[in-house]
Amino acid sequence: MARHGAELLPELPSSLARAFESYLSSLRFERGLSLNSIDAYARDLGRYGSWLQQRGIRHLGEVDRSDIEAYALDLAEGELAPRTRARALVAVRRFHSFAAAESVTDSDPASEVSPPQEGLRLPKALSLTDIETMLATTAGEEPVQIRAAALLELLYATGARISEAVGVDLDDLDLDASLVRLYGKGGKERIVPLGSHARTALGAWVSRVRPSMAAKAKSPGRGQTSGRGHVSGRDHAGALFLNARGTRLSRQSAWQIVKDASERAGLAVEVSPHTFRHSFATHLLEGGADIRVVQELLGHASVTTTQIYTKVSEETLREVYATSHPRAR
């Protein structure tokens, strides 16, 4: 049976387990969510299911609004981060909505329970100096250095999510036209331009290092799942970024490459692949790019999602004003 996160659920009463598995299956096969998203839902629902079981609730129809409010309170008093708590409660609300819509329960007890209102958390963007310091740590002729330079340049040049970056195939890259095709959430495709630095770094990787790594693959590997979350018609040797075995570089390995570069650069802030995405958007807006253009480049379905970066730019303007204007203080 196709995996849809159910194996991450704890042991639960059969009635609860069937309801959770049905919902996770719908997320996979009806809504088309990625396996990573479904796993996140499974973990949140597993936490909720264990909580219900501890309260002696064995059937979903026994849950009422007071139970969900009590669960929300327990989440708030727990050790989870604020955003994790909010996400966990959203998962519960969506699950109960599904159960009512599918007539698993007679009503939706979570419909009037709102998630906690967390303060707006602005993305952290690196300065251009920090970006360049990280990129400088990849200078060298070792294969891993050339690969790291290509990956970091791609992330900063395109604002790609890490899953999008490792999901790029050679056929998606057009160095002559300085373009790359990315596949975002739900398999949505977008074309993003590459700057000269990214084009040079990627060219060095593709021509000088990647062929020898591709030759190390033991087999064609047909049917291997690509970073896009679907089974590629091409073998994994068609991936742009490869590991030492000649197979597609994993998200975890790509994350480690970013982390290692950050540590070598001695940056005081925590850096993740998403930090490059934040920096990409923030630097574009600070440079005068139209927010609708940034929206398209990031692959956001709504400009509302992109608008959070304008707040980052506004904060930067305030800081510059406060330190530069003679009558600002």
To the query of whether residue 161 is one of the catalytic residues in this protein, the response is yes
321 is catalytic: no
The answer to whether residue 31 is catalytic is no
- Residues composing the chain: 329
Q: What Rg do the C-alpha atoms of the chain give, in angstroms? A: 23
Neighbours of 269 (CB within 10 A): 10
Place of tokens 């630097």: 283
Q: Which of 85, 96, 277, 283 is an active site residue?
A: 277
Which residue is catalytic, options 185, 197, 251, 259? 185
Give how far the C-alpha of residue 309 lies from the chain's centroid of Cα atoms, to the nearest Å.
17
283 catalytic per annotation: no
Give me the amino acid identity at 131.
Answer: I
Q: Given the residues 4, 47, 96, 161, select the one marked as catalytic.
A: 161
Instruction: Examine the residue annotation and report whether 311 is marked as an active-site residue of this protein.
Output: no
CA distances from 114 to 38, 46, 94 (A): 22, 20, 11
- What whole-number distance in Å separates Cα of residue 202 and Cα of residue 184? 20
Spot the catalytic one: 48, 71, 183, 309: 309
Q: Let me know if 309 is a catalytic residue.
A: yes
Q: Which residues are catalytic?
A: 161, 185, 274, 277, 300, 309
